[in-house]
Amino acid sequence: MSRLSYMGRPWVAFDATNRQHRQWYYEFVKHQTWGRCPVRFIVADDHGDLLTMIQQRLNQYYTEREFGVKIAR
């Protein structure tokens, strides 16, 4: 394993319920770069790209929060 693997930002699964994760996504949208994000988000196997995955999870989070209804995945 390369030494760069140890020096890079850690991998994290995006969690829409985590306020910090939502803040990092907001910073990405604001600045159009992940350069200020201290972690790298993992893309789930059932999704094609990171942005679509995050947007879908945020839609589900805010819909459940507003209407109090759990949406089946």
pTM of the complete model: 0.83
**Does the structure show a pLDDT above 80 at 2?**
no
| For the chain, domain boundaries | 3-67
Q: How confident is the model at residue 71 (pLDDT cuts 50, 70, 90)?
A: low
**Does the structure show a pLDDT above 70 at 1?**
no
- Which is nearest to 28 in space by CA: 20, 16, 36? 36
Q: Contact 17/62 with Cβ under 8 angstroms?
A: no
pLDDT in tens, 22-62: 999 999 999 999 999 999 999 988 888 999 999 999 999 99
pLDDT of residue 72: 67
Place of tokens 């907001």: 26
Compute the residue count for the chain: 73
Give, in order, the Cα–Cα distances in Å from 16 to each of 1, 5, 8, 20, 48. 31, 26, 23, 9, 18
What is the chain's mean pLDDT, rounded?
Answer: 90
